[in-house]
């Protein structure tokens, strides 16, 4: 009996695009459906189900910034289209699923050129620019919200919600660990692609304004301007972490306090807030001073 053809997952960029793809990968794996990941170089850091199957890397870039950067990005996306065309030829998938982000654009265009069945997933309440570019080649669009701007009266739209990884779903039964006098406070900080840069500047500065018993050590910034890795220390114990992608999300969400980015429309960010009480920096400051 011939093996079933794999499903290609096209994703990349920030965690808001990748985590739903990882959730779907876990479900496909559980059902015995083969799949492959097509992403850009940043995909080397992904873990979980996405890292357990073949990964095909393509060129990609976001056409933002100066005119020169936009032209270089367009060139990179053009090279990515060639990469994706070749990759899909090798994989011969049964279907292609795109999760937004410019890293998925070359693969979704190549899928349309090869006349492969394709669908998109939109995590936000507003259809993203990347998904807008490739919308014409999608037979279905899975949405996370009842109403998604950019898909009004589109018969292809189906409300499916935002896929959540199994290790995260299991945490719903974990009891909340309230701060106590004899235990350090765990602080979870997360933000979307729009808020990450400002958070990486504002929150370390806010923490440094607290008493000297709280210290912070920033690590190097990512090559694409992601926020730095930061660890906060209170009485020589690590109490918080701010990272580019929370790969250890199942540990991070079990925090005492959560600082989400205001206006972050992706449910990936809201998920952490549901698992930890939402507080403002002022509240964190008052807690740590006690």
Residue 114 has pLDDT above 90, yes or no: yes
Environment class of 290 (CB within 10 Å of its CB; exposed 0-12, middle 13-18, buried 19+): exposed
Mean pLDDT in residue range 73-101? 95
Instruction: Give the pLDDT mean for 37-52.
Output: 77
- Return the pLDDT at 160: 92
Between 255 and 169, the higher pLDDT residue = 169
Helix or strand (DSSP H, E) at 282 = helix 281-289
The rounded mean pLDDT for the chain is 75
Residue 229 has pLDDT above 70, yes or no: no
Domain locations in the chain as residue ranges: 7-163, 173-289
Alpha-carbon span 180 to 34, nearest angstrom = 47
Count of CB atoms situated within 10 Å of the CB of 78: 12
CB atoms within 10 A of CB 147: 10
Whole-number pLDDT of residue 218: 40
Higher pLDDT, 207 or 247: 207
7-163: which CATH architecture?
A: 3-Layer(aba) Sandwich (3.40)
What share of the chain in percent tops pLDDT 70? 62
| Residue 190 to residue 268: CA distance in whole angstroms | 10
**In what helix (H) or strand (E) does residue 120 lie, and over which residues does it extend?**
strand 118-122
Top pLDDT among 142 and 1 is at 142
For residue 151, pLDDT beyond 90: yes
Report the alpha-carbon distance of residue 85 to residue 124 in Å, rounded: 28
From 262, 16, 270, 29, select the one nearest 130 (Cα to Cα). 16
Mean pLDDT of 278-286: 38
Measured CA to CA, the distance from residue 143 to residue 130 in angstroms comes to 15
Q: Give backbone dihedrals phi and psi of 74, rounded to 5 degrees, phi first.
A: -65, -40
Per-residue confidence (pLDDT) for residue 117, from 0 to 100: 96
55 backbone φψ class: left, alpha, beta (φ>0; ψ -120 to 50): beta
Residue 192 or residue 9, greater confidence: 9
Beta bridge partners of 257: 187
Contact (CB, 8 A) for 88 and 8: yes
Residues 108, 11: Cα–Cα separation, whole Å: 10
Residue with tokens 């559980």: 30
- Radius of gyration of the chain from Cα atoms? 20
Q: In the chain, pLDDT over 90 holds for what percent of residues? A: 40
Output 125 or 274, whichever has higher pLDDT.
125
The yes-or-no verdict on residue 286 having pLDDT over 60 is no
At residue 242 the predicted structure's pLDDT band, cuts being 50, 70 and 90, is: very low
> Would you place residue 215 in the very low, low, confident or very high pLDDT band (cuts 50, 70, 90)?
very low
pLDDT digits (tens, 9 = 90+) for 131-146: 999 999 999 999 999 9
Q: Is the pLDDT reported for residue 120 higher than 80?
A: yes
- Top pLDDT among 198 and 276 is at 198
Least confident interval from 60-74, 109-123, 168-182, 261-275 = 261-275
* pLDDT number for residue 234: 42
Write the CB contacts of 203 (distance below 8 Å, at least 6 apart in sequence).
189, 230, 242, 259, 281
| Secondary structure of residue 164 in the 3-state scheme | coil
């Amino acid at each position: 009996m011939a093996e079933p053809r794999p499903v290609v997952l096209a994703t990349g960029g920030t965690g808001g695009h990748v985590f739903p793809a990882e959730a779907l990968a876990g479900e496909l794996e559980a059902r015995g459906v083969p799949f492959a990941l097509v992403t850009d170089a940043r995909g080397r850091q992904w873990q979980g189900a996405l890292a357990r199957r073949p990964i095909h890397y393509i060129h990609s870039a976001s056409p933002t910034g100066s005119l020169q950067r936009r032209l270089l990005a367009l060139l990179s996306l053009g090279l990515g289209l060639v990469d994706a065309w070749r990759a899909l030829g090798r994989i011969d998938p049964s279907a292609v699923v795109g999760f937004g982000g410019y890293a998925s654009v070359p693969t979704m265009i190549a899928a349309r050129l090869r006349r492969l069945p394709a669908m998109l997933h939109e995590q936000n309440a507003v259809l993203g620019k990347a998904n807008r570019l490739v919308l014409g080649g999608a037979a279905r669009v899975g949405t996370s919200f009842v109403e998604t701007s950019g898909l009004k009266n589109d018969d292809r739209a189906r409300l499916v919600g935002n896929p959540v990884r199994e290790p995260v779903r299991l945490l719903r039964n974990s009891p909340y660990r309230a701060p106590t006098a004899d235990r350090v406070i765990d602080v979870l900080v997360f933000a979307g692609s729009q808020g990450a840069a400002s958070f990486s500047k504002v929150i370390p500065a806010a923490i440094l304004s607290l008493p000297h018993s709280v210290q912070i050590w920033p690590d190097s910034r990512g090559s694409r301007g992601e926020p730095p890795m930061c660890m906060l220390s209170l009485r020589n114990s690590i109490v918080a972490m701010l990272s580019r992608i929370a790969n250890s999300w199942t540990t991070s969400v079990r925090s005492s306090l959560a600082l989400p980015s205001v206006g972050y429309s992706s449910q990936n960010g809201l998920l952490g807030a549901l698992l930890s009480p939402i507080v403002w920096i002022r509240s964190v400051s008052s807690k740590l001073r006690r």
